[in-house]
Amino acid sequence: MVTVASSARAVVFTNCTLVQPGVGIHMTTQQNNACLAEFLDFMNRKGLNTTSQRRIIAEAFFELPGHHSLEEFYQHVIKRDSGIGQTTVYRTLKLLCDAGLAMEIHFSDGITRYEIAKPDSHHDHLVCLECGKIVEICDPRIEKLQREMAEKYGFKLRGHVHNLYGICKECRDKAAQEG
């Protein structure tokens, strides 16, 4: 089962731009700063404290491409500030999701992962069932077909999640050598 939790606002994905296919969304310093400013603005609008720890966590999140579990991300954060607790990291990730700047993704392994949510960087995922490798993909032909299918059945798309599960080449090669 695959689910995605995202922002409070609906996002319609219409184009496919991915800076580094297969690696994750990688943003420039300018984009990082814009996302951080948007997060701080969200915090202010909600009347929440913009602590230095929350700021460090948000900066670390926008600088780290890919799909990361809470534990993986927490290990990244404590390299910047070892005084930040895992609960603070978790709560800040939830706030980033509420602000529409992060997405929770649940693949078949049951581990919640987080990735940057940007409407202009839509992508789908190939997931290896053996090693857990995640490759981001985007193909305009697939996107067009999905829109056509939605229209055929009378749906107005607001977004989608498309994950393909299989065994990556490295795991197949390793199995062939062992067997």
What domains are there in the chain, each with its CATH number?
Answer: 7-24+119-179 (3.30.1490.190), 26-117 (1.10.10.10)
pLDDT at 131: 87
| CA contacts within 13 A on the Cβ side of 9 | 12
As given in the structure block, the two tokens for residue 109 are 């392994």
pLDDT at 15: 32
Which residues have a Cβ under 8 Å from the Cβ of 9 and sit 6 or more positions away?
100
Residue 33 one-letter amino acid: N
pLDDT tens, residue by residue, 54-82: 999 999 999 987 888 999 999 999 999 99
Is this structure's pTM higher than 0.75? no
Contact status, residue 57 vs residue 92, Cβ threshold 8 Å: yes
Euclidean distance between CA atoms 173 and 171, whole angstroms: 5
Q: Which portions of the chain are predicted below pLDDT 70?
A: 1-27, 118-122
